[in-house]
């Protein structure tokens, strides 16, 4: 198998070191300590109960915040007491888990012997993960393309980058090991071209700008990310943007990522007070107070949420050097129907006023 220098991150589909990949939890276990339970280190307690898992793996799960006692994350030296509820999630899939081939009617933009470019629809998970063992982009790829390279992990054949479930847009997939190595190096060296279109809340002040802020998991909710003011926390992240269209209560921006961290565009725009429209995880799915509201604004926004029932983000442009021909290929897609309908709704209101 080829050595992959890095893999692009899950959320905005931009470069990430392998260590920066978003954890995908597959297994979930729950135990209630017996009434006669003597105080016992939690790593030993779980090791005694769970077959086929090393104590070191349990300790790693604790360090990742994946072990909880009565709902609170604990370290591996925590002592379990009688009656306490212990839960653990692991990054390995269940033993019975296998990759399924499914006909999912993928939107294939380009395909040759080395690379495949797909326009992923919003709502589709890129690869199998906890709770999503079928219906993913990978399941669909396996139906159409055989012998995709295994890549960094067994459940991610051909993948060199990813985007969020509810982000739509372009992805490139390697069709063989040589292509996997070449593409991964391009993402690692940041020589690919990626542009995103986002619809954010409010009137972004500058016509163009750069958002800089270290990003890491939130200490309050590990499913989401946040910006840390402390330069020693999180990972350096830079997002460049320019305004494409203004509505007063919302702004359409084009984003280009200098770095690639999980949820980077979503986190950065929330950080500057302009979360993505209808982003449920980053405070964009509530009616916000804005100075340029339209009549009956609350109902207008609720209707707009129905028009685009996910965060308004699309990976519009993708460019990379073909692994074999060395030609630079550039692909672009139209905004998906839900984002187009949302913009048309906004434009009708602005023109009417």
196 Cβ neighbours under 8 A, 6+ residues apart:
12, 169, 254, 255, 256, 257, 265, 313, 314, 315, 316
- What residues are labeled active site? 164
Task: Decide: helix, strand or coil at residue 141.
Answer: helix
Separation CA 93–CA 129 (nearest Å)? 8
Question: Which pLDDT score, from 0 to 100, does residue 48 have?
Answer: 87
Domains of the chain, CATH where assigned: 27-90 (3.10.290.10), 96-189 (3.30.2350.10), 196-352 (3.30.2350.10)
Separation CA 281–CA 22 (nearest Å)? 15
Q: Kindly state the helix (H) or strand (E) to which residue 298 belongs, with its residue range.
A: helix 297-307
331: nearest Cα among 113, 119, 13, 105: 119
Block residue for tokens 């986190």: 267
pLDDT in tens, 11-54: 444 333 333 333 334 456 888 888 888 899 999 999 888 766 78
pLDDT in tens, 244-255: 999 999 999 999
> What does each C-alpha distance from 192 to 13, 116, 149, 168, 183 come to in angstroms?
11, 15, 20, 18, 9
Separation CA 288–CA 294 (nearest Å)? 12
Question: Which pLDDT score, from 0 to 100, does residue 18 have?
Answer: 32
Separation CA 235–CA 106 (nearest Å)? 34
Question: Which pLDDT score, from 0 to 100, does residue 25 have?
Answer: 41
Q: Are 257 and 163 in contact (CB under 8 A)?
A: no
35: its two tokens: 């009434």
Question: Which pLDDT score, from 0 to 100, does residue 285 have?
Answer: 96
Separation CA 250–CA 203 (nearest Å)? 6
Question: Which pLDDT score, from 0 to 100, does residue 280 have?
Answer: 95
State the pTM of this model: 0.75
Q: Are 277 and 285 in contact (CB under 8 A)?
A: no
Question: Which pLDDT score, from 0 to 100, does residue 51 have?
Answer: 65
Block residue for tokens 């985007």: 163
Question: Which pLDDT score, from 0 to 100, does residue 223 have?
Answer: 81
Q: Which residues in the chain show pLDDT less than 50?
A: 1-26, 94-96
């Amino acid at each position: 198998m080829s050595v992959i220098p890095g893999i692009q991150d899950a959320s905005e589909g931009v470069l990430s070191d392998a260590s920066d990949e978003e954890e995908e939890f597959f297994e979930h276990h729950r135990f209630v300590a017996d009434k006669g339970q003597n105080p016992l280190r939690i790593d030993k307690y779980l090791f005694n109960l769970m077959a086929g898992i090393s104590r070191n793996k349990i300790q790693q799960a604790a360090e990742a915040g994946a072990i909880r006692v009565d709902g609170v994350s604990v370290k591996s030296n925590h002592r379990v007491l009688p009656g306490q509820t212990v839960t653990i999630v692991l990054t390995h899939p269940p033993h019975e888990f296998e990759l399924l081939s499914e006909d999912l009617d993928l939107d294939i933009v380009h395909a040759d012997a080395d690379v495949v470019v797909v326009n992923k629809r919003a709502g589709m998970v890129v690869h199998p993960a906890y709770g999503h063992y079928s219906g993913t982009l990978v399941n669909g790829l396996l139906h159409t393309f055989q012998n995709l390279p295994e890549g960094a992990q067994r459940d991610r054949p051909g993948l060199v980058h990813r985007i969020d479930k509810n982000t739509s847009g372009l992805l490139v997939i390697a069709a063989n090991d040589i292509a996997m190595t070449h593409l991964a190096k391009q993402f690692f060296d940041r020589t690919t071209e990626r542009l995103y279109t986002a619809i954010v809340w409010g009137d972004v002040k500058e016509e163009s700008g750069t958002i800089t802020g270290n990003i890491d998991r939130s200490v309050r909710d590990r499913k989401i990310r946040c910006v840390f003011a402390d330069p020693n926390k999180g990972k350096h992240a830079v997002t460049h943007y320019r305004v494409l269209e203004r509505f007063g209560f919302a702004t359409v921006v084009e984003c280009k990522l200098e770095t690639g961290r999980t949820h980077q565009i979503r986190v950065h725009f929330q950080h500057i007070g302009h979360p993505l429209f209808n982003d449920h995880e980053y405070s964009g799915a509530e009616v916000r107070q804005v100075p340029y509201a339209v009549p009956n604004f609350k109902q207008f926004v609720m209707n707009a949420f129905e028009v685009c029932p996910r965060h308004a983000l699309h990976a519009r442009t993708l460019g990379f050097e073909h692994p074999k021909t060395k030609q630079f290929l550039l692909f672009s897609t139209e905004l998906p129907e839900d984002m187009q309908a949302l913009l048309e709704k906004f434009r009708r209101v602005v023109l009417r006023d």
